[in-house]
């Protein structure tokens, strides 16, 4: 029996069309800027997001790292959410490697940062304090349930940041899920930001890679940082070829994943012992917990029992799960996941 892997959309395998495009891709040495496939992907991405330039990086983590370091110098401070992926899950790279100090303010349940909290976190001009340089947002917001931030909110944060001479960076690992969830084009969501990363290797199914977009000067700086971080690649057009297929064919179908997340949530909500987060799913993530009075062990124990039945789920707390739908999860997989949960509980 094949595994039904709901742990993340990072587990997506490249599609047959991607494998074919990778095999045929014209390539060159990208450190010399000579890879035609990579250059094409970067141009497509910049155009799609309405930014001057784009840079291919091996991962979302490196995209955020190079992206933040290109705005900041050592000792500068970035304001971010206390549930931000960059704060929680990127191994402290911005401080370990860039000397960037972080000021964490509470993420609201809807993934936003309160405008007053941002305002109050901006440092005065005082030699005792770090210099506030940057604000970052995340869209969709992973630890806030995969919720999407709308353009109006992002515009308000952009205006606040720019009025105070700060820059705004967006971790848009799942930017196209946000756009699909809100029924808008991604360009609209990133118009107010100075820089944005998005991932090709999550819901868009490419095997490797993320893109950082911004102004031409900014991307030139990020390009040097990518080299410093060891992310300058050679015939990376093999990877870019899959990214091109991702942008051309995988963006428009994301609503299917969101619909399946809805079906999954509806099915799981009927099972005694499971409590779904209010509002879940916003996009392609379903968050749920074991009911307080359910005597069925911990989430890890339940996940092991599910794995024995070929269902893989994410454990994100003592009694908490995250299930993510993606291209390789079809209707039958959703039904099987629901019936296996029922059987195991």
**Closest CB to ligand TLP among 87 and 218?**
87
Contact 321, 315 (CB under 8 A): yes
The residue within the footprint of ligand TLP, chosen from 61, 112, 280, 340 (CB under 6 A), is 61
Does 173 help bind ligand TLP (rule: CB under 6 A)?
yes
Nearest distance from C-beta of residue 236 to ligand TLP, angstroms: 15
Q: Check binding of 205 to ligand TLP (CB under 6 A).
A: no
- Give the nearer residue to ligand TLP in terms of CB position, either 87 or 271: 87
Q: CB-hemisphere CA count at 13 Å for 222?
A: 27
User: For residues 126-145, which are near ligand TLP according to CB under 6 A?
Assistant: 138, 142
Residues facing 288 on adjacent strands: 276, 321
Task: Give the Cα separation of 44 and 248 in Å (integer).
Answer: 9
Q: Which is nearer to ligand TLP, 146 or 237 (CB)?
A: 146
Q: Which of 85, 133, 223, 326 binds ligand TLP (CB under 6 A)?
A: 85
Rg, C-alpha atoms of the chain: 20
89 binds ligand TLP, rule: CB under 6 A: yes
Neighbouring CB atoms inside 10 A of 117's CB total 16
Residue 171 binds ligand TLP (CB under 6 A)? yes
Give the nearer residue to ligand TLP in terms of CB position, either 198 or 271.
198
Q: Binding to ligand TLP by residue 262, rule CB under 6 A?
A: no
Based on the shown chain and the rule CB under 6 A, indicate whether residue 14 belongs to the binding site for ligand TLP.
no
Select the residue whose beta carbon is closest to ligand TLP and give its number. 60
Interactions with ligand TLP, residue window 20-59 (CB under 6 A): 59
Which one of residues 199, 290, 306, 337 is an interface residue with ligand TLP (CB under 6 A)?
199
Binding to ligand TLP (CB under 6 A): which residues in 268-287? Answer: none
**Contacts to ligand TLP by CB under 6 A:** 8, 10, 59-61, 85, 89, 138, 142, 171, 173, 199, 201, 210
């Amino acid at each position: 029996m094949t595994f039904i892997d709901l742990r993340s959309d990072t587990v997506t395998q490249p599609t047959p069309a991607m494998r074919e495009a990778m095999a045929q891709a014209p390539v060159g040495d990208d450190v010399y800027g000579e890879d035609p496939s990579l250059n094409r992907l970067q141009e497509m991405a910049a155009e799609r997001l309405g930014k001057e330039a784009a840079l291919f990086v091996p991962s979302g983590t490196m995209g955020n790292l190079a992206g933040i370091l290109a705005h900041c110098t050592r000792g500068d401070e970035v304001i971010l959410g206390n549930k931000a992926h960059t704060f929680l899950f990127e191994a402290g790279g911005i401080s370990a490697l860039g000397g960037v100090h972080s000021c964490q303010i509470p993420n609201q349940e809807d993934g936003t940062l309160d405008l007053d909290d941002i305002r109050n976190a901006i440092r005065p001009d005082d030699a005792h304090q770090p210099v506030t340089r940057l604000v970052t947002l995340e869209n969709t917001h992973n630890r806030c349930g995969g919720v999407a931030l709308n353009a109006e909110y992002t515009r308000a944060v952009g205006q606040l940041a720019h009025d105070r001479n700060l820059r705004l960076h967006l971790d848009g690992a799942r930017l196209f899920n946000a756009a699909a969830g809100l029924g808008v084009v991604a360009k609209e969501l990133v118009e107010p930001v100075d820089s944005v990363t998005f991932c090709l290797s999550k819901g868009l199914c490419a095997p490797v890679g993320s893109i950082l977009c911004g102004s031409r000067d900014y991307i030139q700086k990020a390009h040097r940082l990518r080299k410093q971080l060891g992310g300058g690649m050679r015939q990376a057009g093999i990877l870019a070829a899959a990214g091109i297929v991702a942008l051309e064919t995988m963006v428009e179908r994301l609503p299917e994943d969101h619909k399946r997340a809805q079906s999954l949530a509806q099915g799981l909500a009927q099972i005694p012992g499971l409590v779904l987060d209010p509002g879940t799913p916003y996009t392609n993530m379903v968050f749920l917990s074991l009911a307080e009075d359910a005597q069925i062990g911990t989430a890890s124990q339940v996940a092991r029992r599910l794995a024995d039945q070929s269902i893989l789920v994410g454990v994100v707390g003592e009694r908490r799960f995250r299930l993510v739908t993606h291209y390789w999860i079809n209707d039958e997989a959703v039904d099987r996941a629901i019936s296996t949960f029922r059987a195991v509980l």
